[in-house]
């Protein structure tokens, strides 16, 4: 119980709540003044708490920015445009999604490079296929390549 509530209870217990109008008006005035004082204190506390909340939000945002910078420094293959967020948790989630996207793109590029691979150098020297030639062509070929 607050002090004011205790005083009201004591007044009721002592005099049964009876008294002159002046006493009642004085008491009402005191209680209203106390109420105004408490309301002012509450407003001051709310302002103080709001200031603390704002400061904490700024600190959290700063921590998220530092975490983002650290992640991007250690993993340069992830584009910085893909990593966003106002809190460290949001930054972590967007980083995980960005890293997954980078891995998919890498895998696709590697698969594409494998399918387009051309052997280096000249092709292997293989003798011509003589099975499709007629006997006369085979003889002519053999005579022309003696040497």
* Residue 123, domain member (yes or no): no
Please report the pLDDT score of residue 75 as a whole number: 92
Residue pair 34/55 in contact by the 8 Å Cβ criterion: no
Q: Is residue 127 part of a domain?
A: no
DSSP 80: G
In a domain, 57, yes or no: yes
**133 lies in some domain:** no
Percent of all residues in the chain with a pLDDT value above 90, rounded to a whole number: 59
pLDDT at 8: 60
- Assess if residue 56 is contained within a domain: yes
Residue numbers of the domain that contains 8? 3-113
Q: How distant, in Å, are the alpha carbons of 71, 85, 100, 103 from that of 82? A: 12, 10, 11, 14
What is residue 19's predicted lDDT score, i.e. its pLDDT? Answer: 58
Domain assignment present for residue 122? The answer is no
Q: Would you say 4 and 34 are in contact if contact means Cβ atoms under 8 Å apart?
A: yes
Total structural domains in the chain?
A: 1
Is residue 51 in some structural domain?
yes
pLDDT of residue 11: 63
């Amino acid at each position: 119980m607050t002090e004011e509530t205790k005083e009201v209870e004591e007044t009721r217990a002592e005099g049964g709540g009876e008294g002159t109008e002046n006493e009642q008006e004085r008491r009402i005035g005191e209680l209203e003044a106390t109420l105004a004082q408490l309301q002012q204190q509450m407003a001051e506390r709310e302002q103080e708490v709001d200031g603390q909340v704002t400061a904490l939000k700024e600190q959290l945002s700063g921590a998220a920015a530092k975490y983002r910078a650290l992640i991007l420094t250690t993993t340069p293959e992830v584009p910085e445009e893909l990593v966003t967020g106002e809190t460290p948790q949001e930054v972590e989630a967007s980083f995980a999604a960005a890293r997954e996207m980078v891995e998919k793109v890498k895998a696709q590029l590697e698969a594409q490079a494998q399918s387009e691979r051309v052997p280096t150098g000249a092709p292997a020297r293989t003798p011509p296929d003589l099975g499709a030639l007629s006997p006369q062509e085979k003889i002519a070929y053999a005579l022309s390549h003696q040497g």
